Amino acid sequence: MPDYHDIASENPKLETRVITVRDLLTDPSLGLDLEVIQGQDSLDNEIRTPRIQKLGMALAGFTGDIHPDRVQILGGSESYYLKSLRLEDRIEAIQRLKNHNICCILITRSLEIPEELIQVCREEKIPLLRSSALSSISIAGLSGYLEKRLAPRMTIHGVLIEIFGLGVLLMGPSGIGKSECALELVLKGHRLITDDYVELTRRGTDRLMGSGGKVLKHHMELRGLGIINVKELFGISATSVSKVVDFAVRLERWNPDADYDRLGLERDAIEFLGVSIPLVAMPVAPGRNVATLVEVAARIHLLRQRGYRPLKIDD
């Protein structure tokens, strides 16, 4: 049998993602209504992590942990701290932000901005933004937005379908019958996510989200019939936009000399973007109803999640 740990997919394509401060200002989905106070010429500074950092510790003198590629927040606590300082101490505190290549600073709650901070941002070419939202709302909104935009992702050749609420990734060589299997599953009442092109995105440390491209959304290629629109043929309930990937099924041509698992004791796995998911190797041969077998595999997966083991002997 092939080593599935070495075959992550047919020609996977990895994408490195960054966004700029300008993206925060131009994307309405962020929903924070940001304004630029200073730094129009530095809006192409890059943000490379979804984690947010508050500037309180840095202003107090602990500058060793400043992460330049994170959005830095200056909220009520930091503002009150600066106001409590004498002028010369406030200037010294703000001067500590120099030489750290900070990508941008966000002032929350429409707070008054010290002129000394505006001057440092001007000298250091740091975009200085302001929002009327509370710090907690700003941090939650930014974290969610950046998590989605910066999540590691890759594209693979395959089909993603939702079966009994599970995201099932169908893999295998071209022409093995992935699309035909998915079509039969749709006829059984399950939902197509995407055919041929699957974009996988890592969410957190242990989840894979699968979705399709925008060009052939809800379409499927069937040899002999061409490209069909699943949504138009079978209705909106036959499709979905994205789904967490719960397990993968790799279709492969039947090899009479291969030693296939007949008891269900072995559990293979496959890894994408550092996330491991269960893998079922399913040989394809004349007379085998692959769609039904995939459906049964989904039922077995659901039972396993509840602790069921088919070969467990009852007391």
Q: What is the mean pLDDT of residues 12-31?
A: 82
Q: Is the pLDDT of residue 8 over 50?
A: no
What does the pLDDT look like over 255-288, one tens digit per residue?
777 776 665 666 789 999 889 999 998 888 887 8
What single string gives the DSSP state of each residue in 224-282?
TTEEEEHHHHH-GGGB-SEEEEEEEEEEEE--TTS---SSS---EEEEETTEEEEEEEE
CB atoms within 10 A of CB 113: 18
pTM equals 0.71
What does the pLDDT look like over 54-65, one tens digit per residue?
999 999 989 888
Active site annotation includes 288 = no
Residue among 214, 223, 262, 312 flagged as catalytic:
262
Confirm if 209 and 203 have CB atoms less than 8 A apart: yes
Residue among 178, 190, 191, 243 flagged as catalytic:
178
Residue among 54, 109, 157, 217 flagged as catalytic:
157
Nearest alpha carbon to residue 209 among 252, 288, 152, 249: 152
Q: What is the mean pLDDT of residues 28-55?
A: 91
Q: Is the pLDDT of residue 5 over 50?
A: no
Q: Is the pLDDT of residue 9 over 60?
A: no
Active site annotation includes 157 = yes
CB atoms within 10 A of CB 155: 17
Q: What is the pLDDT of residue 142?
A: 94
CB atoms within 10 A of CB 234: 18
In the chain, the domains with their CATH numbers are 4-12+151-305 (3.40.50.300), 18-149 (3.40.1390.20)
Active site annotation includes 178 = yes
Active site annotation includes 83 = no
Residue among 196, 218, 246, 250 flagged as catalytic:
196
pLDDT averaged over every residue in the chain: 87
What does the pLDDT look like over 138-179, one tens digit per residue?
999 999 999 888 888 898 999 999 999 999 999 999 888 899
Amino acid found at 156: I
